[in-house]
Structure formats: C-alpha cells, structure tokens
A = this chain, B = another copy of it.
Amino acid sequence: MFAYERAIRFEDVDAARIVFFPRFFGYCHEAMEALFGGIEGGYVGMINDRHIGLPTVHVSSDFKSPLRYGDVARIEVRVSKIGKSSCRFSYAVYREKDGVLAATVEQTSVLTDLGFENAPKENTIRPIAIPDDIRALLTKHLVV
C-alpha cells in the first residue's frame, strides 16, 4: 500500500460546491505517479525518457461522501492485479481529518509504447510487456 495526501484546491469545487467528480481521478493519477517514485526516474522518466505510458482502459468508481474546499484527500493506492502488459490499481480516497471514505476507484491501465512520432495518426495504443523494474515496483504494492 502507498499513501498520498493532497489538499482540495480552491478551483477543484464546482457550482454545487463540492469537488467535481472527475477531479477524483486526477487525484488518483497524482497518487499513482507518486507511487512510481519508487523506480529510477519516476513516472516523468517513463514518459519523457523511456516513452512509455500507462493509459487507462477501464475505470470504475463509487463516490460515497463529497469532498469540499478545505478538506485534504488521503489516497491509498494498492496494486490489485498484474498481467503481462496491464495492471489494476485500487484506490481508496479518504477525507484526512476524520477518515471518512469519500470514494473508491478501480483502474486498469496498460503499459504502452507512446510512439510519439506516429502518435497523431494512430487510433490504438500499443501494449508492451511490463519491464522488470516496473513489475518489481508493482509487485511491491500488490495486495490480493
């Protein structure tokens, strides 16, 4: 398990005065990027130097309690499945001050050759086998 905290920001709420639900996925993505701090170069190095990415192919989420400006989100990340090219992250988003569960997110991502040169012309992503260092990192956070 990996934990990450971040404050709800001034511009994260919507006209209903609660966090706009798509932003929860951004929070989870931040937590996932932070988890990749466990490999050389981190998520930035994967994208910028190794030109591999981790696009999401499936996401499923339950929203239990709203978050508001002034709250801090505590995001717990677990790896719940590791395949040849894909993996599944399971997130629980808590309100830090009282531990209320705000949301759960299941996300399946596929390790992908970003193929920047050709990217604008392609319709599909190209899965690649998960490299050893990334597999080791994911395995370290695997909870089944």
Contacts and interface: CB of A to CB of B under 8 A. Distances in A.
What's the number of copies of this chain in the assembled complex?
A: 4
A9 B48 CA distance: 13
Given A10-B33, A22-B25, A15 B69 contact: yes
Grouping DSSP codes into helix (H, G, I), strand (E, B) and loop, the A interface class, with mixed when no group exceeds half, is mixed
Interface residues of A, number: 48
A118 to B, nearest CB: 11
A24 B61 CA distance: 14
Interface stretch (A74-82, A83-91, A119-127, A128-136): A119-127
Interface of A: 9-11, 13-18, 20-26, 29-30, 33, 43-45, 47-48, 53, 55-66, 68-70, 100, 114, 116, 119-120, 123-125
